[in-house]
Amino acid sequence: MKIRIIAIGKAKKNAIIEQCAEYRKRMQWPLDIVEIEAKKTNPSQQKKIEADLILSEIDKAGSSFVIALDERGKSMSSPDFAAFLDKHRVGGVSSFCIVIGGADGLDQSVRDRADFLLSFGIQTWPHMMVRVMIIEQLYRAQQILKGHPYHKE
């Protein structure tokens, strides 16, 4: 099961880079992070420009199940998220693209392209923190599916 995270912005803070690296190291699923740096423009155009770059990266990844992180999406408990990934794996999905927008969120075209919108609750989180959060949830999902005690009920 290959996972590719497509994210707006280059992580610059050590704390973010370290946390992502740590969970990636512990993860058995191959995980790539594609960082997209879009030129800064006015806010109304920014999301559209970012969206075009995201959609092009999704296309490059070939046939993948696309999960976009979005406040309007559906929340899942960690065991449900693990079961969700596994259900799609069993159903023939061998590759997931996970999309994280920039500071302004996602353009509607990315939402439309996604197979699933995933929400981390009604709070607003910094997009760089969301990167750590999703990698942790993926690692947790792996441990849940392995029956490992990392995840406690």
CB neighbourhood size of 40 (10 A) = 9
Q: Segment near its own copies (CB under 8 A), from 16-24, 30-38, 58-66, 108-116?
A: 16-24
Question: Which one of 1, 2, 16, 49 is in contact with its own copies (CB under 8 A)?
Answer: 16
Ranges of beta strands (E only) in the chain are 2-8, 31-36, 65-74, 95-100, 116-118
Q: How far apart are CA 35 and CA 47, in angstroms?
A: 15
> What minimum distance in Å lies between the beta carbon of 22 and its own copies?
8
What are the structure tokens assigned to 91, written together?
A: 């159903």
Distances (CA, A) of 152 to 29, 43, 46, 115, 133: 21, 42, 41, 29, 17
**What residues from 35 to 94 belong to the interface with its own copies (CB under 8 A)?**
75-78, 81
Amino acid at 99: V
4 near its own copies, rule: CB under 8 A: no
Question: Which one of 12, 13, 25, 39 is in contact with its own copies (CB under 8 A)?
Answer: 13
> What minimum distance in Å lies between the beta carbon of 109 and its own copies?
19
Q: In the complex, which residues of this chain contact its own copies (CB under 8 A)?
A: 13-16, 18-19, 22, 75-78, 81, 103-105, 119-126, 129, 132-133, 136-137, 140, 151-152
